[in-house]
Amino acid sequence: MKTLVTGGAGFIGSHLADALLARGDEVTVFDNLSTGKLENIDQALANGAELIEGDILDQDLVEKVMQSVRPQAVFHLAAQGEVQRSIEQPAFDATQNVVGTVNLIEASKNIGLDRFVFASTGGAIYGEGSNLELPASEEIAPEPLCQYGMSKLAGEQYLALYRRMYMFNSVALRFGNVYGPRQSPKGEAGAVAIFGELLMAGQNPVVFGDGLQTRDFVYIDDLIEAILTASRTDVEGPINLGSGEETSILDLLSGLREAGLSLNGDGPPEGTDFEPSFDRGRPGEVRRISIDPARAARELGWNPTTQLKSGLRETLSAMAASADDITHA
């Protein structure tokens, strides 16, 4: 199968590119490298993937790429993914996540694409979990509390519109809080990467709020399995990809510290007890969330299998190996 991955040099996209190549696909990565990293796709490029550097906001380029590559499946992961930036720069968020998505959908429709897989959000689209029955199911009417959640919902609605108008075959996968190797600690989206880097550097974490806010964490390998499965089906509409479990930020920090102990046996680096300090909470952040993966189990035969404890250990191990590589380079 010919496949195209937007945002393919990013954390999730690069893992997806590797997995698509492993199943025998011809893979094209389309990325403007604003946040994606070339080192993330070194292995993919070595295994035959093609990189096209460009922006999904460039409508002419998107059309040319689609006409040239003519993929059978598109995995659309390129996005502005930070809640706070969406609040501070709502027009930028809408342009990236709505206009860019529409450009890609329209170009995909024009070549008669077989399958469009859209990376949506389960963490920001439902609204405040304290007002919902958790874990949140796809039947709940979304009430985003931030512009990022709204722009992702708009992308889903465009896909629904194109299904009605053109029988456009698509699925919107609502990701939980994805974590794992290659996740960048820069920005705000990767709590595990951010706190993991601090742990390894011997620094104490800063928590926004009281740390009792909850998130639904899903390991990258489990997520990639679900994406691949979804690409081979005709299931449409939104599908949650999460654990269905709430994990507080304080419990996450405890889990990271425990994972660090299991890796090196002597706890955090000297000079830190990895105890958090606290700062004021940030607007647009939900207090509680977890998303119900029952539809994914029914429609895709998918259930996450990686427990948080083992996922954190794998993530820290990969971060340590990467740090060693840099040290000895």
Mean pLDDT, residues 299-305: 97
Residue 148 annotated in active site? yes
State whether the Cα torsion 234-126-215-203 is positive or negative. Answer: positive
Q: For the chain, what percent of residues have pLDDT higher than 70? A: 94
Choosing from 148, 162, 179, 219, the catalytic residue is: 148
What is the predicted pLDDT for the residue at 56?
Answer: 98
CA distance to 104, 191, 251, per residue, from 208 (Å):
36, 11, 14
Q: Residue 327 — pLDDT band, cuts 50, 70, 90?
A: very low
For 307, the token pair is 């427990």
Phi and psi based region of residue 237 (left: phi greater than 0; alpha: psi -120 to 50; beta: remaining): left
Q: Mean of the pLDDT values across residues 133-162?
A: 97
Dump pLDDT digits (tens) for 208-228. Answer: 999 999 999 999 999 999 999
pLDDT digits (tens, 9 = 90+) for 239-268: 999 999 999 999 999 999 999 887 765 555
- Write down the pLDDT at residue 83: 94
pTM above 0.85, yes or no: yes
Read off the pLDDT band of 324 (50, 70, 90): low
Summarize pLDDT for 110-123 with one digit per residue, the tens.
Answer: 999 999 999 999 99
Res 270: pLDDT = 54
Q: What is the pLDDT of residue 322?
A: 76
Domains of the chain plus CATH, in order, are: 2-179+218-243+292-305 (3.40.50.720)
129-133, 182-186, 297-301, 322-326: least confidently modelled range: 322-326
The arithmetic mean of pLDDT across residues 103-110, rounded, is 98
Is the distance from CB of 76 to CB of 106 less than 8 angstroms?
Answer: no
